[in-house]
Structure 1
Protein backbone atom coordinates (compact mmCIF):
# COMPACT_ATOMS: atom_id res chain seq x y z
CA UNK A 1 0.00 0.00 0.00
CA UNK A 2 1.34 3.44 -0.91
CA UNK A 3 2.07 5.85 1.89
CA UNK A 4 -0.64 8.49 2.10
CA UNK A 5 0.70 11.99 2.04
CA UNK A 6 -0.70 14.13 4.89
CA UNK A 7 -2.46 17.24 3.71
CA UNK A 8 -0.41 20.32 4.38
CA UNK A 9 -2.25 23.24 5.91
CA UNK A 10 -1.82 26.77 4.61
CA UNK A 11 -0.05 28.88 7.27
CA UNK A 12 -2.36 31.37 8.91
CA UNK A 13 -1.62 34.96 7.91
CA UNK A 14 -0.53 37.61 10.44
CA UNK A 15 -3.40 39.39 12.16
CA UNK A 16 -2.66 43.06 11.68
CA UNK A 17 -4.82 46.12 12.42
CA UNK A 18 -6.06 48.13 9.44
CA UNK A 19 -3.85 51.05 10.47
CA UNK A 20 -0.26 50.86 11.60
CA UNK A 21 1.48 54.09 12.56
CA UNK A 22 5.25 54.60 12.16
CA UNK A 23 7.08 52.95 15.03
CA UNK A 24 10.31 54.32 16.45
CA UNK A 25 12.24 51.32 17.66
CA UNK A 26 14.95 53.66 18.93
CA UNK A 27 18.67 53.76 18.47
CA UNK A 28 19.40 53.14 22.14
CA UNK A 29 20.50 49.72 23.32
CA UNK A 30 17.53 47.43 23.87
CA UNK A 31 16.99 45.99 27.31
CA UNK A 32 16.05 42.38 27.93
CA UNK A 33 12.29 41.71 27.70
CA UNK A 34 11.56 45.01 25.94
CA UNK A 35 8.37 44.87 23.86
CA UNK A 36 7.36 46.63 20.63
CA UNK A 37 3.90 46.53 19.09
CA UNK A 38 1.36 47.86 16.61
CA UNK A 39 3.43 49.80 14.12
CA UNK A 40 5.54 50.00 10.97
CA UNK A 41 9.30 50.24 10.80
CA UNK A 42 10.49 51.41 7.38
CA UNK A 43 13.73 51.99 5.52
CA UNK A 44 16.19 51.87 8.36
CA UNK A 45 19.02 49.84 9.85
CA UNK A 46 18.85 48.26 13.28
CA UNK A 47 22.47 47.82 14.30
CA UNK A 48 24.46 46.21 17.14
CA UNK A 49 21.50 45.10 19.24
CA UNK A 50 21.89 42.20 21.65
CA UNK A 51 19.06 41.34 24.02
CA UNK A 52 17.08 38.45 25.49
CA UNK A 53 13.32 37.83 25.16
CA UNK A 54 12.51 40.91 23.09
CA UNK A 55 8.86 40.80 21.91
CA UNK A 56 7.44 42.08 18.62
CA UNK A 57 3.65 42.05 18.21
CA UNK A 58 1.68 43.26 15.15
CA UNK A 59 4.57 44.92 13.34
CA UNK A 60 5.53 45.36 9.69
CA UNK A 61 9.26 45.69 9.00
CA UNK A 62 9.55 47.25 5.53
CA UNK A 63 13.05 47.18 3.98
CA UNK A 64 14.78 47.08 7.35
CA UNK A 65 18.36 45.80 7.74
CA UNK A 66 19.31 43.92 10.92
CA UNK A 67 23.06 44.41 11.21
CA UNK A 68 24.96 42.47 13.89
CA UNK A 69 21.75 41.70 15.78
CA UNK A 70 21.44 38.90 18.34
CA UNK A 71 18.00 38.42 19.89
CA UNK A 72 17.97 35.22 21.90
CA UNK A 73 14.47 33.90 22.69
CA UNK A 74 12.83 36.69 20.71
CA UNK A 75 9.02 36.41 20.45
CA UNK A 76 7.45 37.36 17.11
CA UNK A 77 3.65 37.39 16.79
CA UNK A 78 1.75 38.74 13.76
CA UNK A 79 4.87 40.15 12.12
CA UNK A 80 5.74 40.81 8.47
CA UNK A 81 9.30 41.21 7.16
CA UNK A 82 9.05 42.73 3.67
CA UNK A 83 12.25 43.21 1.70
CA UNK A 84 14.37 42.99 4.86
CA UNK A 85 17.95 41.86 5.35
CA UNK A 86 18.44 39.56 8.34
CA UNK A 87 21.66 38.00 7.11
CA UNK A 88 23.68 36.51 10.00
CA UNK A 89 21.12 37.72 12.55
CA UNK A 90 20.83 35.36 15.51
CA UNK A 91 17.30 34.50 16.70
CA UNK A 92 18.12 31.29 18.54
CA UNK A 93 15.34 29.78 20.70
CA UNK A 94 12.87 32.19 19.08
CA UNK A 95 9.10 31.74 19.03
CA UNK A 96 7.41 32.77 15.76
CA UNK A 97 3.64 32.73 15.33
CA UNK A 98 1.89 34.06 12.22
CA UNK A 99 5.04 35.53 10.68
CA UNK A 100 5.80 36.23 7.01
CA UNK A 101 9.18 36.78 5.35
CA UNK A 102 8.80 38.02 1.76
CA UNK A 103 11.62 39.05 -0.58
CA UNK A 104 14.05 38.90 2.32
CA UNK A 105 17.78 38.25 2.46
CA UNK A 106 18.37 35.58 5.12
CA UNK A 107 21.92 34.39 4.46
CA UNK A 108 23.21 32.67 7.58
CA UNK A 109 20.06 33.62 9.53
CA UNK A 110 20.13 31.56 12.74
CA UNK A 111 16.79 30.13 13.94
CA UNK A 112 18.31 27.18 15.75
CA UNK A 113 16.04 25.59 18.34
CA UNK A 114 13.25 27.97 17.34
CA UNK A 115 9.52 27.21 17.41
CA UNK A 116 7.76 28.19 14.17
CA UNK A 117 3.96 28.15 13.88
CA UNK A 118 2.16 29.48 10.79
CA UNK A 119 5.26 30.96 9.16
CA UNK A 120 5.83 31.70 5.46
CA UNK A 121 9.05 32.31 3.57
CA UNK A 122 8.30 33.63 0.08
CA UNK A 123 10.93 34.59 -2.51
CA UNK A 124 13.70 34.65 0.09
CA UNK A 125 17.46 34.09 -0.14
CA UNK A 126 18.11 31.75 2.79
CA UNK A 127 21.41 30.13 1.87
CA UNK A 128 23.38 28.87 4.89
CA UNK A 129 20.44 29.62 7.21
CA UNK A 130 20.17 27.46 10.32
CA UNK A 131 17.10 25.67 11.65
CA UNK A 132 18.93 23.07 13.74
CA UNK A 133 16.62 21.43 16.31
CA UNK A 134 13.80 23.79 15.28
CA UNK A 135 10.15 22.77 15.57
CA UNK A 136 8.25 23.71 12.40
CA UNK A 137 4.47 23.37 12.16
CA UNK A 138 2.39 24.84 9.32
CA UNK A 139 5.39 26.40 7.59
CA UNK A 140 5.55 27.20 3.88
CA UNK A 141 8.75 27.90 1.94
CA UNK A 142 8.19 28.91 -1.69
CA UNK A 143 10.08 30.45 -4.58
CA UNK A 144 13.21 30.67 -2.46
CA UNK A 145 16.88 29.71 -2.36
CA UNK A 146 17.86 27.67 0.70
CA UNK A 147 20.97 25.93 -0.59
CA UNK A 148 23.36 24.69 2.11
CA UNK A 149 20.87 25.53 4.85
CA UNK A 150 20.75 23.33 7.94
CA UNK A 151 17.63 21.58 9.29
CA UNK A 152 19.56 19.07 11.41
CA UNK A 153 17.22 17.19 13.78
CA UNK A 154 14.36 19.60 13.03
CA UNK A 155 10.74 18.53 13.51
CA UNK A 156 8.31 18.93 10.59
CA UNK A 157 4.50 18.95 10.65
CA UNK A 158 2.45 20.44 7.82
CA UNK A 159 5.61 21.87 6.21
CA UNK A 160 5.71 22.55 2.48
CA UNK A 161 8.62 23.37 0.16
CA UNK A 162 7.55 24.73 -3.24
CA UNK A 163 9.81 25.83 -6.11
CA UNK A 164 12.77 26.12 -3.76
CA UNK A 165 16.48 25.44 -4.24
CA UNK A 166 17.71 22.97 -1.61
CA UNK A 167 21.03 21.73 -2.96
CA UNK A 168 23.36 20.50 -0.18
CA UNK A 169 20.78 21.31 2.49
CA UNK A 170 21.20 19.19 5.61
CA UNK A 171 18.25 17.23 7.01
CA UNK A 172 20.26 14.77 9.09
CA UNK A 173 18.30 13.53 12.11
CA UNK A 174 15.05 15.04 10.75
CA UNK A 175 12.08 12.94 9.62
CA UNK A 176 10.63 14.03 6.29
CA UNK A 177 7.57 11.76 6.19
CA UNK A 178 4.83 13.61 4.30
CA UNK A 179 7.15 16.43 3.25
CA UNK A 180 6.90 17.03 -0.52
CA UNK A 181 10.23 17.90 -2.17
CA UNK A 182 9.04 17.15 -5.70
CA UNK A 183 8.76 20.84 -6.55
CA UNK A 184 12.29 21.61 -5.40
CA UNK A 185 15.66 21.43 -7.09
CA UNK A 186 18.78 19.79 -5.65
CA UNK A 187 21.64 17.57 -6.71
CA UNK A 188 22.19 16.21 -3.24
CA UNK A 189 20.86 16.71 0.26
CA UNK A 190 22.00 15.34 3.59
CA UNK A 191 19.43 12.92 5.02
CA UNK A 192 19.32 9.57 6.80
CA UNK A 193 17.47 6.51 5.55
CA UNK A 194 14.95 6.69 8.38
CA UNK A 195 14.52 10.41 7.88
CA UNK A 196 13.79 10.06 4.18
CA UNK A 197 11.19 7.34 4.53
CA UNK A 198 7.78 8.64 3.41
CA UNK A 199 9.19 11.76 1.76
CA UNK A 200 7.62 12.67 -1.61
CA UNK A 201 10.04 13.20 -4.51
CA UNK A 202 10.02 13.17 -8.31
CA UNK A 203 11.22 10.14 -10.22
CA UNK A 204 14.16 12.11 -11.63
CA UNK A 205 15.29 12.98 -8.09
CA UNK A 206 15.77 9.34 -7.14
CA UNK A 207 19.37 9.40 -8.36
CA UNK A 208 20.14 11.77 -5.49
CA UNK A 209 19.16 8.98 -3.09
CA UNK A 210 20.76 6.07 -4.91
CA UNK A 211 22.11 4.62 -1.67
CA UNK A 212 18.86 5.01 0.23
CA UNK A 213 15.54 3.16 0.13
CA UNK A 214 12.00 3.84 1.24
CA UNK A 215 11.15 7.01 -0.69
CA UNK A 216 7.70 7.63 -2.16
CA UNK A 217 8.02 8.39 -5.87
CA UNK A 218 5.61 10.94 -7.27
CA UNK A 219 4.98 10.27 -10.97
Structure 2
Protein backbone atom coordinates (compact mmCIF):
# COMPACT_ATOMS: atom_id res chain seq x y z
CA UNK A 1 0.00 0.00 0.00
CA UNK A 2 1.42 3.38 -1.03
CA UNK A 3 2.08 6.15 1.48
CA UNK A 4 -0.04 9.27 1.69
CA UNK A 5 1.20 12.43 0.02
CA UNK A 6 -0.01 15.24 2.28
CA UNK A 7 1.75 18.55 2.87
CA UNK A 8 3.13 19.10 6.38
CA UNK A 9 1.36 22.46 6.62
CA UNK A 10 -2.33 22.50 5.76
CA UNK A 11 -4.59 25.55 5.75
CA UNK A 12 -7.22 25.33 8.54
CA UNK A 13 -10.86 25.54 7.46
CA UNK A 14 -13.80 25.86 9.86
CA UNK A 15 -16.53 25.27 7.28
CA UNK A 16 -17.04 23.57 3.94
CA UNK A 17 -17.36 25.87 0.94
CA UNK A 18 -18.25 24.20 -2.32
CA UNK A 19 -15.40 24.14 -4.81
CA UNK A 20 -14.86 21.76 -7.69
CA UNK A 21 -11.24 21.22 -6.56
CA UNK A 22 -10.33 21.19 -2.86
CA UNK A 23 -6.67 20.85 -1.88
CA UNK A 24 -4.30 21.21 1.09
CA UNK A 25 -6.89 21.98 3.80
CA UNK A 26 -7.45 20.61 7.28
CA UNK A 27 -11.05 20.51 8.50
CA UNK A 28 -11.60 20.11 12.25
CA UNK A 29 -14.99 19.69 13.97
CA UNK A 30 -16.81 20.66 10.78
CA UNK A 31 -20.32 19.40 10.02
CA UNK A 32 -20.94 18.80 6.31
CA UNK A 33 -24.55 18.33 5.22
CA UNK A 34 -24.50 18.85 1.47
CA UNK A 35 -23.91 16.83 -1.66
CA UNK A 36 -20.35 16.82 -2.96
CA UNK A 37 -20.90 15.35 -6.41
CA UNK A 38 -18.26 15.72 -9.14
CA UNK A 39 -15.66 17.15 -6.74
CA UNK A 40 -11.93 16.44 -6.49
CA UNK A 41 -10.46 16.42 -2.96
CA UNK A 42 -6.68 16.25 -2.85
CA UNK A 43 -4.24 16.21 0.07
CA UNK A 44 -6.67 17.09 2.88
CA UNK A 45 -7.33 15.97 6.44
CA UNK A 46 -10.71 15.76 8.14
CA UNK A 47 -10.49 15.49 11.94
CA UNK A 48 -13.55 14.87 14.14
CA UNK A 49 -15.87 15.98 11.35
CA UNK A 50 -19.49 14.94 10.81
CA UNK A 51 -20.93 14.06 7.43
CA UNK A 52 -24.73 13.85 7.32
CA UNK A 53 -27.03 12.98 4.41
CA UNK A 54 -24.26 13.48 1.85
CA UNK A 55 -23.84 12.16 -1.66
CA UNK A 56 -20.30 11.80 -3.01
CA UNK A 57 -21.20 10.61 -6.50
CA UNK A 58 -18.48 10.68 -9.16
CA UNK A 59 -15.91 12.32 -6.88
CA UNK A 60 -12.17 11.75 -6.85
CA UNK A 61 -10.31 11.58 -3.53
CA UNK A 62 -6.53 11.45 -3.33
CA UNK A 63 -4.28 11.50 -0.25
CA UNK A 64 -7.01 12.05 2.34
CA UNK A 65 -7.19 11.28 6.06
CA UNK A 66 -10.55 10.93 7.81
CA UNK A 67 -9.65 10.79 11.52
CA UNK A 68 -12.36 10.14 14.15
CA UNK A 69 -15.08 11.26 11.73
CA UNK A 70 -18.75 10.25 11.77
CA UNK A 71 -20.66 9.42 8.61
CA UNK A 72 -24.46 9.28 8.71
CA UNK A 73 -26.43 8.35 5.58
CA UNK A 74 -23.43 9.00 3.32
CA UNK A 75 -23.07 7.57 -0.19
CA UNK A 76 -19.89 7.19 -2.24
CA UNK A 77 -21.25 6.14 -5.65
CA UNK A 78 -19.05 5.48 -8.69
CA UNK A 79 -16.09 7.25 -7.07
CA UNK A 80 -12.34 6.95 -7.37
CA UNK A 81 -10.50 6.82 -4.03
CA UNK A 82 -6.72 6.63 -3.94
CA UNK A 83 -4.51 6.72 -0.83
CA UNK A 84 -7.37 7.45 1.58
CA UNK A 85 -7.26 6.53 5.28
CA UNK A 86 -10.32 6.08 7.49
CA UNK A 87 -9.01 6.02 11.08
CA UNK A 88 -11.30 5.36 14.06
CA UNK A 89 -14.35 6.48 12.10
CA UNK A 90 -18.01 5.57 12.49
CA UNK A 91 -19.02 4.47 9.00
CA UNK A 92 -22.07 2.30 9.72
CA UNK A 93 -24.51 2.22 6.82
CA UNK A 94 -22.14 3.94 4.40
CA UNK A 95 -22.34 3.09 0.73
CA UNK A 96 -19.17 2.64 -1.34
CA UNK A 97 -20.82 1.13 -4.42
CA UNK A 98 -19.38 0.77 -7.93
CA UNK A 99 -16.19 2.56 -6.88
CA UNK A 100 -12.45 2.12 -7.40
CA UNK A 101 -10.64 1.82 -4.07
CA UNK A 102 -6.85 1.86 -4.35
CA UNK A 103 -4.36 2.01 -1.44
CA UNK A 104 -7.19 2.50 1.07
CA UNK A 105 -6.85 1.90 4.82
CA UNK A 106 -9.81 1.24 7.12
CA UNK A 107 -8.47 1.05 10.68
CA UNK A 108 -10.37 0.79 13.97
CA UNK A 109 -13.63 1.72 12.28
CA UNK A 110 -17.16 0.72 13.24
CA UNK A 111 -18.98 -0.06 10.03
CA UNK A 112 -22.10 -2.15 10.48
CA UNK A 113 -24.16 -2.72 7.33
CA UNK A 114 -21.88 -0.91 4.89
CA UNK A 115 -22.46 -1.54 1.19
CA UNK A 116 -19.32 -2.06 -0.89
CA UNK A 117 -21.23 -3.69 -3.75
CA UNK A 118 -19.62 -3.71 -7.18
CA UNK A 119 -16.41 -2.01 -6.07
CA UNK A 120 -12.82 -2.86 -6.96
CA UNK A 121 -10.18 -2.98 -4.22
CA UNK A 122 -6.48 -2.78 -5.06
CA UNK A 123 -3.74 -2.81 -2.39
CA UNK A 124 -6.21 -2.04 0.40
CA UNK A 125 -6.06 -2.88 4.10
CA UNK A 126 -8.89 -3.52 6.58
CA UNK A 127 -7.30 -3.46 10.03
CA UNK A 128 -9.29 -4.19 13.23
CA UNK A 129 -12.72 -3.06 12.03
CA UNK A 130 -16.24 -4.13 12.95
CA UNK A 131 -18.00 -4.66 9.62
CA UNK A 132 -20.87 -6.79 10.89
CA UNK A 133 -23.63 -7.23 8.33
CA UNK A 134 -21.79 -5.42 5.53
CA UNK A 135 -22.06 -6.38 1.87
CA UNK A 136 -19.17 -7.13 -0.49
CA UNK A 137 -21.34 -8.39 -3.35
CA UNK A 138 -19.78 -8.59 -6.83
CA UNK A 139 -16.52 -7.04 -5.65
CA UNK A 140 -13.04 -7.52 -7.08
CA UNK A 141 -10.09 -7.82 -4.67
CA UNK A 142 -6.42 -7.55 -5.58
CA UNK A 143 -3.71 -7.57 -2.89
CA UNK A 144 -6.20 -6.65 -0.17
CA UNK A 145 -5.94 -7.77 3.46
CA UNK A 146 -8.37 -8.23 6.35
CA UNK A 147 -6.69 -8.35 9.78
CA UNK A 148 -8.61 -8.94 13.01
CA UNK A 149 -11.89 -7.72 11.55
CA UNK A 150 -15.40 -8.70 12.62
CA UNK A 151 -17.03 -9.98 9.44
CA UNK A 152 -19.99 -11.75 11.00
CA UNK A 153 -23.12 -11.91 8.79
CA UNK A 154 -21.32 -10.26 5.86
CA UNK A 155 -22.32 -11.10 2.28
CA UNK A 156 -19.83 -11.96 -0.47
CA UNK A 157 -22.06 -13.28 -3.25
CA UNK A 158 -20.48 -13.42 -6.72
CA UNK A 159 -17.15 -12.29 -5.26
CA UNK A 160 -13.99 -14.34 -5.75
CA UNK A 161 -12.33 -14.94 -2.39
CA UNK A 162 -9.04 -16.16 -3.86
CA UNK A 163 -6.05 -15.10 -1.71
CA UNK A 164 -8.23 -13.29 0.85
CA UNK A 165 -7.03 -14.25 4.33
CA UNK A 166 -9.79 -14.38 6.95
CA UNK A 167 -7.80 -16.44 9.46
CA UNK A 168 -7.57 -13.65 12.06
CA UNK A 169 -11.17 -12.48 11.56
CA UNK A 170 -14.59 -13.44 12.90
CA UNK A 171 -16.75 -14.84 10.08
CA UNK A 172 -19.79 -16.33 11.80
CA UNK A 173 -22.81 -16.61 9.47
CA UNK A 174 -20.82 -15.32 6.50
CA UNK A 175 -22.65 -15.71 3.18
CA UNK A 176 -20.65 -16.55 0.05
CA UNK A 177 -21.01 -18.11 -3.39
CA UNK A 178 -19.82 -21.71 -3.15
CA UNK A 179 -18.16 -21.54 -6.58
CA UNK A 180 -16.04 -18.53 -5.52
CA UNK A 181 -14.31 -20.12 -2.51
CA UNK A 182 -11.20 -21.40 -4.25
CA UNK A 183 -8.03 -19.99 -2.72
CA UNK A 184 -9.58 -18.37 0.37
CA UNK A 185 -7.38 -18.62 3.50
CA UNK A 186 -9.05 -19.58 6.79
CA UNK A 187 -8.05 -21.19 10.08
CA UNK A 188 -9.11 -24.69 11.12
CA UNK A 189 -12.21 -23.64 13.05
CA UNK A 190 -13.34 -21.33 10.25
CA UNK A 191 -13.01 -24.20 7.80
CA UNK A 192 -16.00 -25.85 9.48
CA UNK A 193 -18.06 -22.74 8.77
CA UNK A 194 -17.29 -23.05 5.06
CA UNK A 195 -17.97 -26.78 5.12
CA UNK A 196 -21.49 -25.99 6.32
CA UNK A 197 -21.92 -23.53 3.45
CA UNK A 198 -21.17 -26.36 1.04
CA UNK A 199 -23.90 -28.49 2.58
CA UNK A 200 -21.46 -31.02 4.00
CA UNK A 201 -22.39 -32.70 7.28
CA UNK A 202 -19.45 -33.43 9.59
CA UNK A 203 -19.80 -36.12 12.24
CA UNK A 204 -17.55 -36.23 15.30
TM-score of the superposed pair, with normalisation by structure 1:
0.87
Q: RMSD in angstroms over aligned alpha carbons?
A: 1.4
Structure 2: which 5+ residue stretches go unaligned? 199-204
State the partner residue of 1:205: 190
**SS class of match (1:68):** strand
Extract structure 1 runs of 4+ deviating beyond 4 A: none
Q: Contact 2:14–2:28 at 8 Å: present in 1 too? A: no
Matches of 1:99 and 1:25, distance apart in 2: 21
State the partner residue of 2:131: 146
**SS class of match (1:89):** strand
How big is the shift at 1:18?
1.3
TM-score of the superposed pair, with normalisation by structure 2:
0.93
Matches of 1:177 and 1:117, distance apart in 2: 18
How big is the shift at 1:24?
5.0
Q: Contact 1:149–1:169 at 8 Å: present in 2 too? A: yes
State the partner residue of 1:7: none
State the partner residue of 1:80: 65
- The correspondence for 2:11, drawn from 16, 21, 35, is 21
Matches of 1:199 and 1:156, distance apart in 2: 12
State the partner residue of 1:4: none
Structure 1: which 5+ residue stretches go unaligned? 1-10, 214-219
- The correspondence for 1:100, drawn from 78, 85, 88, is 85
* Aligned length in residues: 198
CA deviations over 1:10-54 (Å, ceiling 9, x no partner): x21210111112035535xx47xx11110100012111x124211
Q: Contact 2:121–2:142 at 8 Å: present in 1 too? A: yes
Q: Contact 1:88–1:106 at 8 Å: present in 2 too? A: no
How big is the shift at 1:212?
4.7
